[in-house]
Structure 1
Amino acid sequence: MKAYKSYLFDLDGTIYHGNKAISSAIQFLNQLELKNIPYGFVTNNSTQTPDQVAKKLTNLGVKVEARQVVTSSIATAAYVRKHYRDVSVFVIGEVGLQEAFSQYRQDSIRPNLVVVGLDRKITHDKMSVAARCIVNGATFIATNPDRMITQENGLVCGNGAIAQAIAYAANTEPVVIGKPSAEILHTAVNQLGFNALETVFVGDNYETDILAGIRAKMDTIHVQTGVTVSCQSFDEQPTYSIPSLINWSLL
């Protein structure tokens, strides 16, 4: 085990399952707090604001501020600020994404960018407008590629399903910001002032969390508390794989 100066965590499957905390993770976060080791959270969820995510974590017993939370909406807005100036946008998404792009000029006719996040009230008209704008030259950006996500009533379609439907219609693949893209981790490291070489990313899902860490050239801890139970069959391995965070010691 290595002594890291800062930690980044995935949420669902790593810190909690739905609305139920993973006790070993909460205990570990409390240890980090006691030792003054900084930490932050990275989520592909584009529907919620950092304030909403922080409130949920607080209710589960985590000491956290909104600035410690990087959603795929926040990372997408950071990507746009970095690469584009003076652009108009057409946004599909819920409050987390709408708030992140509230300062941009909205345009449903000829926007410079089409930004797509999960919208649980998606309509044929919204998808048609997005595809039409992309065909007319708008750059297509998706907050994240999640095929399905877990809700209280079971698995439901994620943003990847919406983005791929629009991509098929427009015959254009999107720029993807969320995990497994490294972009969201770069945003988190920059926002929190961490050194990527001294930071470890903790997650449960190999295909999103661990791959994002590998692509960002960061050390990774795979916890066997969520989607991926074993990483042995994959060519690229996490730096560590442990049953849960109770098995990780702070040196």
Structure 2
Amino acid sequence: MRTRDEIECWLTDMDGVLVHENQAVPGASDLLQQWRFENKPFLVLTNNSIFTPRDLSARLRASGLDVPEESIWTSALATAAFLKEQAPGGSAFVIGEAGLTTALHEAGFIMTEVNPDFVVVGETRNYSFEAITKAIRCINKGARFIATNPDATGPSAEGVLPATGAISALITKATGRDPYVVGKPNPMMFRSALNRIGAHSENTGMIGDRMDTDVVAGIEAGLHTVLVLTGISDQAEIEKYPFRPNEVLGSVAELLNDEPIETETY
């Protein structure tokens, strides 16, 4: 069995691991600095397909965390990478925001409502009946159905909001077609992240706060899994599942080395 000392690359979830309610989790900034000092490649993963990596980098910076956009991997990017392999130069009808449309454009896809190769559903704060109807009709005409992630709800200040999984379920009910879901807990997202940083599963760790996405996908992708208790999971939640992470920690602060990190002065 691998030990933490053998881990040379890291994947980490964002919300509940590095940030909580738009504030950096204690120790998160130091951990990112430690990885950079040790030259350990890392990616911050999120199932959120609304924002581009540039947007998320700015949001993390406002929370006190320095994460360059090239170190962020979203379900939108994973979806675009997957579709580029499946149908280079293909076309898609997209329900989603800039994070998804930008990723697909950069992957060489054409956005269209006329006979698209794929219908791609991501997260948006503006789901429309008209767009959902178009998606249903495209799928009925033969378009393949893709969803960026399975999350049924998302948070807001007023309470939960319907998210990608809920809208996908509506489309499934109307068409009889289930989507192929690229984001967590599909280990496909982790494998594409590994490819992004040139890492191998044998020496890569995954840090998350959810048993049903981060941990199970990490296990299936062959990664060293670390569950932190700064998000939604607690010990009672862990006991509900037939699988276990390699480590359960209070927070990412427990991943810090005992020795202080040396910094250059000028």
TM-score category by the smaller chain? over 0.9
TM-score by length of 2: 0.89
Q: Does 1:21 align with 2:28?
A: no
Q: Which has the larger radius of gyration?
A: 2
Q: What residue is the counterpart of 1:238 in the other structure?
A: 245
Q: Which residue is 1:157 aligned to? A: 162
Instruction: Tell me if structure 2 keeps the 8 A contact 1:18–1:151.
Output: no
How many angstroms does 1:58 deviate by?
A: 2.4
**For 1:142, which of 130, 141, 147 is the aligned residue?**
147
CA contact (8 A) 1:89 1:114 kept: yes
TM, length-normalised to structure 1: 0.95
Q: Which amino acid aligns with 1:203?
A: G
Shift of 1:121: 0.9
Deviation, 1:137, is 0.7
In the alignment, structure 1 residue 88 sits paired with structure 2 residue 95: no
Which residue is 2:103 aligned to?
100
Higher mean Cα deviation, 85-94 or 125-134?
85-94
State the Cα distance separating 1:86 from its structure 2 match. Answer: 3.5
Moved more, 140-149 or 62-71: 62-71
2:4 corresponds to which residue?
A: 2
Q: Secondary structure at the match of 2:102?
A: helix
Q: What is the aligned partner in structure 1 of residue 220 from structure 2?
A: 215
Structure 1 CA distance for aligned equivalents of residues 216 and 90 of structure 2: 31
**How many Å separate the matches in 2 of 1:31 and 1:106?**
41
Matched to 1:238, the amino acid is P
Aligned residue pair count: 251
TM-superposed deviation, 1:9: 0.6
For 1:175, give the aligned amino acid. Y
Shift in alpha-carbon separation, 1:81–1:111, aligned structure 2, 3 A: same
Per-residue CA deviation, residues 43-67 of structure 1 (Å, 9 max, x unaligned), is: 0000000111112222333332211
Task: Report if aligned partners of 1:47, 1:95 keep a CA contact under 8 Å in 2.
Answer: yes
Q: What is the SS of the residue equivalent to 1:7? A: strand
Unaligned runs of 5+ in 2: 259-266
1:192 and 2:214 correspond: no
Gaps (5+ residues) in structure 1?
none
Contact 1:118 1:162 in 2 (8 A): no
User: How big is each residue's C-alpha offset from its partner over 1:204-247, in whole Å with a ceiling of 9 and x where there is no partner?
Assistant: 01111111111212111000111111213311111111111222
- The Cα RMSD (Å) is 1.5
For residues 143 and 42 of structure 2, what CA distance do their matches in structure 1 show? 36
Counterpart of 1:170 in structure 2 is 175
Q: Note the C-alpha offset of 1:25.
A: 2.2
**Change beyond 3 A, Cα 1:11–1:68:** same
Equivalent position to 1:33, from 28, 33, 36: 36
Identity %: 33
Q: How big is the shift at 1:249?
A: 4.6
